[in-house]
């Protein structure tokens, strides 16, 4: 009845303009809004006369677009070989346009927009190639492709250019790494990628459901690390942002949160009620089995072995993958009950799990090395940019010094020439020299006055600092923490740099807390600014005192 009474959904299908590139561009634009409609249009375009005239660029663009559409519509990557060719093709033209080929530099300078377009296509080709590797369980290769996608984007786009589709692409890629690292129990890496994904989701103004899902994944990682406060915060945020409660993501969040409440707060009745309710609302058999697995585990921890066995047996029978997760407690129950046959059956499953775990551990180590190298590469880029800024400032100071020296030399040269030409007018020359010296003294006095004014301005900034940061905190403005830190650095230049040099073991968060402590923020206010729990902030404070041996922060505020 609901279907019959609902208005039909209007599918946006563009009228294709003549020419393959224009048609592909239109399909590409549609894909970001309606992937199902875009796939239908692509299939129609592929059989049209316009598709027959595609050149090499258009052909590879078409293959990447087809692969993305198949992936977004839950189809297998049937054109994988063509996607691999597209990856190498776009990398090659971007490398040439970058000026690595000297003969192409002039052309590259004249085609800045084309270079950015090609770089974005190259990054997307790497991304979809990584998705193909991941589907084939080639996780090392998949991770490498995702990281190549990041490098392509970061090499060719400034941070303020990563908006709209590009921000959505960055968020999607970080989400893929969250899924990959989470499956390999690399929680810290998954949390880092999840937070990066959140930042780009907000820049791209993604849907509340997508942002809620990312909060949920980050909460799961904190849950696995047994960081209770952080896990609880992200679970709560995920539920708060979820607009629709009639979907599997919402039920996953509620189920994970229920198990979390049971494990860390002993909320048995509420946890079971929530899980049973989610099991009743399951949309398919796989979801129902997943809920049974969680409920069975709780029954096992409660010592209700009959219920745990009944639900665990269903999981083992229906789903061999999830069955491996329940085999451990089923093996324990069988041993305690003296059921040797079943104990041996579950032992075989556990042996298989153990062999897989060993392989996963080696693979996780390799993935971690790869990701750490990527983070180091990003840090080196930041350092290179900082050095570039410093070099530019040094050149500017040098130019000012040279200009000043030239002016002084010119004045002295003119004075000497005048003295040599007019020996008989020594008194007049002396007067002129005195005038020149007086002018130099005036300039020096002006410089001293400017220095005094600068010192006064710095003292005024320091005097107003408490009020300004208090106003920023109360105003609830975006990026409050970054703006407060900027105010502090303006009032106390190089203080944080000296602190980092004196205590290199301090993390960025600990340095931020040192500043907030100096500014007399309470622990609760610091937790609000940092997006952490009160307990986590107190732990950071304790670590700060230990690492600095309670040294006074005022020593760095010269």
pLDDT in tens, 64-95: 999 999 988 888 778 888 889 999 999 888 88
212 confidence band (pLDDT: 50, 70, 90):
very high
Q: Which comes out higher in pLDDT, residue 287 or 106?
A: 287
pLDDT of residue 100: 46
Q: What DSSP letter does each residue of 383-407 carry, written as one string?
A: HHHHHHHHHHHHHHHHHHHHHHHHH
pLDDT of residue 176: 93
Q: What is the mean pLDDT of residues 215-225?
A: 93
Q: What is the mean pLDDT of residues 346-360?
A: 72
Helix axes 534-548, 228-241, angle to 10 degrees: 140
pLDDT of residue 97: 64
Is the overall model pTM greater than 0.75, yes or no?
A: no
Q: What is residue 551's DSSP assignment?
A: -
pLDDT of residue 111: 57
Query: Which of 126-130, 354-358, 398-402, 433-437 is the most confident on average?
Result: 126-130
Q: What is the dihedral of CA 270, 272, 274, 277, to 10 degrees?
A: -140
pLDDT of residue 356: 63
pLDDT of residue 14: 55
pLDDT of residue 200: 93
Alpha-carbon gap, residue 332 to 501, rounded angstroms = 53
What does the pLDDT look like over 357-409, one tens digit per residue? 666 777 888 888 888 998 888 888 888 888 888 888 888 888 988 998 899 98
Q: What is the mean pLDDT of residues 341-353?
A: 80
pLDDT of residue 171: 94
pLDDT over threshold 80, residue 7: no
449-453, 505-509, 545-549: range with lowest mean pLDDT: 449-453
Query: Under a CB-based contact definition with an 8 Å cutoff, are residues 513 and 540 in contact?
Result: yes
**What are the distances in angstroms from CA 101 to CA 97, 116, 154, 449, 518?**
8, 17, 21, 54, 53
Q: What is the dihedral of CA 433, 436, 438, 441, to 10 degrees?
A: -120
% of residues, the chain, pLDDT over 90: 23
Average pLDDT, the chain: 84
What does the pLDDT look like over 171-181, one tens digit per residue? 999 999 999 99
446 confidence band (pLDDT: 50, 70, 90):
confident
What does the pLDDT look like over 231-269, one tens digit per residue? 999 999 999 998 888 888 889 999 999 899 888 888 888
pLDDT of residue 331: 85
Query: Under a CB-based contact definition with an 8 Å cutoff, are residues 427 and 449 in contact?
Result: no
Question: Which of 516, 495, 494, 514 lies closest to 506, judged by CA?
Answer: 514
């Amino acid at each position: 009845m609901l279907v019959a009474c609902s208005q039909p959904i209007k599918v946006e299908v563009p009228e294709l303009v003549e020419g393959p590139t224009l048609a592909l561009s239109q399909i590409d634009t549609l894909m970001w809004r309606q992937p199902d409609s875009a796939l239908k249009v692509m299939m129609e375009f592929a059989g049209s006369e316009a598709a027959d005239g595609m050149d090499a660029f258009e052909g590879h663009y078409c293959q990447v677009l087809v692969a993305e559409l198949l992936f977004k519509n839950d189809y297998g990557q049937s054109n994988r070989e063509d996607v691999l060719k597209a990856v190498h093709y776009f990398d090659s033209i971007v490398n040439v346009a970058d000026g690595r080929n000297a003969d192409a530099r002039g052309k590259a300078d004249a085609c800045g927009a084309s270079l950015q377009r090609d770089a974005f296509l190259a990054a997307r080709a790497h991304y979809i190639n990584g998705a193909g590797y991941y589907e084939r369980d080639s996780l090392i290769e998949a991770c490498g492709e995702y990281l190549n996608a990041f490098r392509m984007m970061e090499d060719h786009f400034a941070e303020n250019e990563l908006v709209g589709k590009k921000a959505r692409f960055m968020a999607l890629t970080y989400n893929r790494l969250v899924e990959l690292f989470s499956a390999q129990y690399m929680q810290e890496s998954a949390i880092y990628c999840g937070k990066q994904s959140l930042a780009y989701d907000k820049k791209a103004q993604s849907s509340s459901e997508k942002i809620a899902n990312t909060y949920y994944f980050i909460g799961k990682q904190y849950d696995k690390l047994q960081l209770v406060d952080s896990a609880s915060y992200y679970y709560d945020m995920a539920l708060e942002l979820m607009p629709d409660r009639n979907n599997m993501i919402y039920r996953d969040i509620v189920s994970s949160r229920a198990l979390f409440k049971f494990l860390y707060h002993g909320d048995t009745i509420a946890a079971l009620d929530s899980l049973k309710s989610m099991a009743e609302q399951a949309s398919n058999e796989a979801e129902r089995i997943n809920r049974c697995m969680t409920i069975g585990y709780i029954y096992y921890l409660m010592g209700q072995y009959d219920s745990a066995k009944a639900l665990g047996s269903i999981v083992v029978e229906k789903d061999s993958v999830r069955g491996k997760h329940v085999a451990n407690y089923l093996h324990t129950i069988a041993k305690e009950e003296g059921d040797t046959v079943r104990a041996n059956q579950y032992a075989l499953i556990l042996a298989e799990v153990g062999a897989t775990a060993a392989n996963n551990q080696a693979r996780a180590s390799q993935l971690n090395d790869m990701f750490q190298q990527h983070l180091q590469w990003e840090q080196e880029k930041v350092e290179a940019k900082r050095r570039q800024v410093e070099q530019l400032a040094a050149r500017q100071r040098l130019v000012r010094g040279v200009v000043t020296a030239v002016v002084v030399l010119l004045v002295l040269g003119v004075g000497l020439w005048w003295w040599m030409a007019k020996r008989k007018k020594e008194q007049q020359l002396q007067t002129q020299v005195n005038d020149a010296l007086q002018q130099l003294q005036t300039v020096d006095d002006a410089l001293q006055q400017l220095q005094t004014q600068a010192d006064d301005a710095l003292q005024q900034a320091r005097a107003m600092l408490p009020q300004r940061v208090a106003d920023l905190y109360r105003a609830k403005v975006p990026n409050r923490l970054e703006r407060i830190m900027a105010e502090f650095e303006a009032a106390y230049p190089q203080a944080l740099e000296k602190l980092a040099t004196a205590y290199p073991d301090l993390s960025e968060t600990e340095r931020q807390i040192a500043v907030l402590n100096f500014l007399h923020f309470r622990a609760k206010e610091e937790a609000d600014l940092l997006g952490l729990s009160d307990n986590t902030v107190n732990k950071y404070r304790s670590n700060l005192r230990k690492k600095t041996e309670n040294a006074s922060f005022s020593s760095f505020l010269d």
